[in-house]
Amino acid sequence: SQTIHQWPATLVQPVGSPLSLECTVEGTSNPNLYWYRQAAGRGLQLLFYSVGIGQISSEVPQNLSASRPQDRQFILSSKKLLLSDSGFYLCAWSTGTGGRNSPLHFGNGTRLTVT
């Protein structure tokens, strides 16, 4: 069965510090991968998605970036965090060949607080 791992679970970082969140998927090949952000009390905002190694699409301009160095690894980064980067970050995967009917399967999330 497929599983998704995301870490760390919580993170407190000062403004201006770098960020690296990692997500890995097991049990499937060539998944589509996603990073979402959920601000407190709000819905989910798609930040990045990837359909293959090295292929990253950005949905929202910001000081965050994403990379996919391996088929089942997705990394969210920032060189300098802003206060507004605080939130709950969720990684998700879907079947690469599944099309529109493929649900997204989410990790447990990372709660980031920028101080």
Partner 1 sequence: AQKVTQAQTEISVVEKEDVTLDCVYETRDTTYYLFWYKQPPSGELVFLIRRNSFDEQNEISGRYSWNFQKSTSSFNFTITASQVVDSAVYFCALKINNNDMRFGAGTRLTVKP
Binding site for partner 1 (CB under 8 A): 32, 34, 42-44, 46, 49, 51, 57, 88, 90, 92, 94, 98-109, 111
Name the residue nearer to partner 1 (CB basis): 51 or 60.
Answer: 51
Closest distance of CB 42 from partner 1, Å: 6
Q: Would you call 115 helix, strand, or coil by DSSP?
A: coil
- 49/74 with CB nearer partner 1: 49
Closest separation in Å from C-beta 12 to partner 1: 16
Contact 107, 90 (CB under 8 A): yes
Beta strands in 8-63 (DSSP E): 10-13, 19-26, 32-38, 44-52, 55-58
d(CA 72, CA 59): 20
Shortest Cβ distance from residue 23 to partner 1 (Å)? 13
Which C-beta is closer to partner 1: that of 8 or that of 18? 8
Least distance in angstroms from the C-beta of 18 to partner 1: 24
CA distances to 3, 51, 63, 111 from 96, rounded to whole Å, are 15, 7, 27, 27
